[in-house]
Amino acid sequence: MKNLTWRLVIVAAVIIAALIYILPTIVPDMWPHKKINLGLDLQGGMHLALEVDTHKALESTIERTGHEIRDFLKKEHIRSAGVERVNGEKLSVKISGEDADKFDEILNDDFPGLRIVSRSDEGGTVSIVLDLPEKEAERIKLMATDQALETIRNRIDQFGVSEPDIRKQGENRILIQLPGIKDTQRAKDLIGRTALLEFKLLDEVHDPKAAVGGTVPPGTELLWQIRVSPETNREIKTPYLVKKRSLLTGAYLTDARVQIDSQYNEPYVGIRFDRKGARIFERITGENVKKRLAIVLDKKVYSAPVIQEKIAGGEARITGSFTTEEARDLAIILRAGALPAPVKVLEERTVGPSLGSDSIRQGLFSMIVGGVLVVIFMVIYYNGAGLVADMALIFNLILIAAGLAGFQATLTLPGIAGIILTIGMAVDANVLIFERIREEMALGKTPHSAVTAGYERATLTILDANVTTLIAALVLFQFGTGPIKGFAVTLSLGVVSSMFTALFVTRIVFDYLLVNRRVRRLSI
């Protein structure tokens, strides 16, 4: 009797907890504020197929290597006529013939991975063309796709999309599914933005307007600042001549947060560098007091303030007439890091809410029809015991729904199929138990003895079948993606809850009827 009371308390606690987790799905804003998330196929959303421009990643590597070679030439006092990137993925270095041996030493010691494509000596000037071997070039391209995948995943996680499906396809493609996304353009901007942050000095000697006419001085580039006037709502474009060389990049960022300017009451993005970045920033600002430093993001100037004094501490701010939403998105992509290469949208599909509603209606209809047929069959075939199995089935569905909400899993159309499969498995466990009870009763045992023996004989078989199914579902969840994962989630929850209801809940009902209510005849 005492044992039965404790089991009733456990079942009641589980059912109450399940109902608490289900209620926010029906009545929003209720504690614990966890509701069932619907997948892309049920609530609509966005599907994107992206292609990573891996050639750009290789070109960036070559460009960066060129800057490093220039630094070495300057440090070793080697006279050079130029270090330039040619044909996208090659470097052309021209040095005095007298310094050729010193340059060869630099190549051997500090750039062993570079391959010499050609070498010529004309009039005392040695011209060397360098590139990367095919194997190294392929490795950089593959890493660019992997890094882009991870960066996009970080951005989407910080954006707050529930259960996104992001996976690599082939060598340079990424598939993305974002359930529930309504502002598709904002999501595309967030995902596809390269977010390369650079700090560059302005060329204050030459006139930017002359550069707009086509005369860009060597070593500089023409970039634009684009602002929207709050009074006229028009774009104001301002040209800037900035030096090509980046003094500092966003690679040293540790944090980026939206903050509000107390003077103008406008949002800006406050950034913080790591220790090394802070040292570089302090040196740059110390060496260039009274000069203008441009903050450039994706080849667009955001601001170009005059450096008033050396700035220590590693903090800076990016201003640019942001809305709070724009500032928040910028902070997200800066925290997530820059893409190693630009991405191109190959395919974009938006699943509308109407299609999602149709999917929900059809899925629920099939689940209700299947459930009703099972309920009727159990009542007809097992009479009163069939009603007990049907009650366990309803508890089973409540527990699955609570599990989906509690674990913040996503319900997809294949997930509904998993629930329908679970309905069959749940009554299958009851069928096994009831058949064993019938066999025991046929041997002349009392109802209570028959129930006890029936559960004991069927338990091992039910555990075997369900545990193997659970292992398969967990493997699907671990290695599957998208719809397969949704199926695995509901199947796993369904297997666990069906074992609980079939072996624990129904046994309590039989024990209560036979022990407390002293029922002498079992309707089975």
Q: Structurally, how many domains does the chain consist of? A: 3
Flag whether 485 is in a domain: yes
Flag whether 173 is in a domain: no
Same domain, 315 and 456: no
Flag whether 261 is in a domain: yes
Contacts of 215 (CB under 8 A, 6+ apart): none
Beta-carbon count within 10 A of 37 CB = 19
CATH number of the domain that residue 385 is part of: 1.20.1640.10
Q: What is the pLDDT of residues 128-154, one digit of tens each?
A: 899 999 999 999 988 889 889 988 988
Which amino acid makes up residue 207? Answer: D
Measured distance CA(161)–CA(181) in Å, rounded: 8
Low-confidence stretches of the chain (pLDDT beneath 50) = none
| Cβ(297)–Cβ(197) below 8 Å | yes
CATH number of the domain that residue 67 is part of: 3.30.1360
Flag whether 332 is in a domain: no
Same domain, 88 and 39: no
Same domain, 394 and 496: yes
Same domain, 118 and 15: no
Flag whether 312 is in a domain: yes
pLDDT (0 to 100) of residue 398: 92
Distance of CA 428 to the CA centre of its chain: 38
CATH number of the domain that residue 304 is part of: 3.30.1360.200
Alpha-carbon torsion 147, 152, 157, 162, what sign? Answer: negative
Q: Which of 322, 339, 370 is the last residue of a domain?
A: 322
Mean per-residue pLDDT over the chain, rounded: 85
**Measured CA angle at 247 (ends 224, 240), to 5 deg:** 20
Flag whether 329 is in a domain: no
Percent of the chain residues topping a pLDDT of 90: 17
Distance of CA 253 to the CA centre of its chain: 20
Range of the domain at 87: 54-137
Q: In what order do the strands lie in the sheet with 343-351?
A: 165-169, 173-179, 45-52, 343-351
How much is the pTM? 0.62
